Amino acid sequence: MRILFGPADGYLYVMMGDGGKGGDPYYFSQNKKSLLGKILRLDIDHLPSADEIVDLDLWGNYSVPQDNPYSEEKDLQPEFWALGLRNPWRCSFDSQRPLYFVCADTGQDNYEEVDIITKGGNYGWSVYEGPFPYNPQQSPGSTPANSINPIFPVLGYNHSDVNKNEGSAAISGGYFYRSLTDPCMFGRYLYADLYGNDIWAAAESPENSGNFTTARVPLTCAHDSPTHCSSIPGNSQPAVGYISSFGEDNRKDIFILASSGVYRVVRPSRCNYTCSKENAQCCNVKIDSSKCDSDDDVLDVKVPMFLCVIEVLEVILQQFILLLVLSLP
């Protein structure tokens, strides 16, 4: 379960997996009364009355926003904002478009996906895995494909694309890059896979269309990284290990959480790369960030792109901080 607050409405969004049973054999994700396999939208600033808890069959001390989908479809559980997800692994709102809600959803056997989450949207699982019909090996029930109107992914890939030996994959959703630190990456959606050593950068054109062009972006560690980056033998890329998550700070800088440590995206010039937009006008935070993003700067998958990073936290210190937090009363 993951949580975040909507920057526009202030409500709490709760991302629920389908329960962990392989293939969702009981179709919890499509069950309109089960909270599993859903995104919930809750108002935690206003406590419900005892009557509301009973009438709406609520599970805790929260209220339900009046414009949740149940207001238009009464057979839905009131908490639902979206359904038909398997295991949303890292969702985010675009800081420049606070209603633009993106979730990566971990696949079952073959496909990993990224979805634009909309009110009442059904994202297909477990009738579909990504854009493909899914046929579980064992299932006591079923949801007919013609009974739902699925919203298919805007981005995705097959497991074999990232792990040809084992064929397994697990997507890690990220953020739309809105920092001025790397102006040539501005506006692209960054995401990764647990088993891949690269990150993908996806450019949307036109904006708000859901039409993305994506390309792998190799990581390179800056020569002046405060912590020395270990490298892959015979390769200049840093050995980041498993990429499990992303973070974004108040400056909109992006952090990459990996099994080897925590990395921050920095200026391309620190890795001796040339970015035509890395200049005083574009890197000055007092200048409108739109000047770092132009219509002719659509991501071209044929042009090599790189992501320059520094290691800011070693894995040993990362684990120590985690243990310290877990030991707090």
Please state the length of the chain: 329
What domains can you pick out in the chain, each with its CATH number?
1-173 (2.120.10.30), 182-329 (no CATH)
Region 269-281: what's the mean pLDDT?
Answer: 75
* Rounded CA separation 66/46 (Å): 12
Q: How many CA atoms lie within 13 A of 160 on its CB side?
A: 1
As a whole number of Å, the CA-based R_g of the chain is 21
pLDDT at 52: 87
Would you say residue 120 has pLDDT above 80?
A: yes
Region 133-157: what's the mean pLDDT?
Answer: 86
Region 172-188: what's the mean pLDDT?
Answer: 94
DSSP string for 226-293? SBPPPB-TTSSSB----EEEEEE-TT--EEEEETTEEEEE--GGGGT---TT-SHHHH-TTS-GGGG-
pLDDT at 319: 54
pLDDT at 288: 43
109 vs 304, residue with greater confidence: 109
Residue 251: exposed, middle, or buried by beta-carbon count in 10 A (0-12, 13-18, 19+)?
exposed
Q: Beta partners for 64? A: none
302 vs 18, residue with greater confidence: 18
Q: What SS3 state is found at 318? A: helix
| pLDDT band at residue 281 under the 50/70/90 scheme | very low
151 vs 240, residue with greater confidence: 151
322 vs 305, residue with greater confidence: 305
* Rounded CA separation 192/219 (Å): 11
Region 277-286: what's the mean pLDDT?
Answer: 48
pLDDT tens per residue across span 90-114: 999 999 999 999 999 999 999 999 9
238 vs 207, residue with greater confidence: 207
Mean of the per-residue pLDDT values of the chain: 85
pLDDT tens per residue across span 20-68: 778 998 889 999 999 999 999 999 999 998 888 888 888 888 999 999 9
pLDDT at 138: 63
